[in-house]
Amino acid sequence: MMLQLGAEVEPLRYVLADVLPLIAKAARHPRSDEPLYFPAVESLVADISTFVERAILTTIASACDRISPMKIQDGRTLCVRCRRAVTLFSRSGPITIVRSIYAPDGLPNSETYDPVIAGCGAVKHWVPATSAAMAMLVEHGPQ
């Protein structure tokens, strides 16, 4: 099977290339007379779902990064100060991407802007759905 994906979803290509043969093997098994250990199939499906979700989130979060000068609301031009890795926490686990950190041109100690955190709507490196799911636990605090 030939699957054509754009360069922006390249991480997903590798996940699917590893997963599709396993799915095909599991789908052929019920036709045989051998017993099927279904908990292993459920575990495989859960793992596949996690890998696919993380690959998709990594791709979309990476797309939020910019590497060109940009203007913000008050008219200041921001320039790339550096590029650093960031780990975002999602329901499927941590995803790590490299993103640009911006600051106003000519002001070395000014406040920085992270387009990935802003674009994803992350709160303290937690993506929105995960932070909403974890809100109840955070409110309770340590026991």
Q: Residue 81: is it exposed, middle or buried by C-beta count within 10 angstroms (0-12/13-18/19+)?
A: middle
Q: Residue 25 is part of which domain span?
A: 7-63
Tell me the pLDDT tens digit for each residue of 66-107: 778 777 767 778 888 888 999 998 888 898 989 988 888 777
Name residues whose C-beta falls within 8 Å of residue 94's C-beta, 6 or more positions apart in sequence.
87, 88
The two three-digit tokens of residue 111, written as one number: 């406040």
SS3 16: helix
Tell me the pLDDT tens digit for each residue of 101-129: 888 877 778 888 888 888 888 877 788 77
Q: Is the pTM of this model over 0.85?
A: no
The two three-digit tokens of residue 44, written as one number: 């495989």
* Average of per-residue pLDDT values in the chain: 78
Name residues whose C-beta falls within 8 Å of residue 23's C-beta, 6 or more positions apart in sequence.
48
Assess if residue 2 is contained within a domain.
Answer: no
Final residue before a domain boundary, out of 43, 63, 83: 63
Q: Are residues 74 and 136 in the same domain?
A: yes
Q: Are residues 85 and 52 in the same domain?
A: no
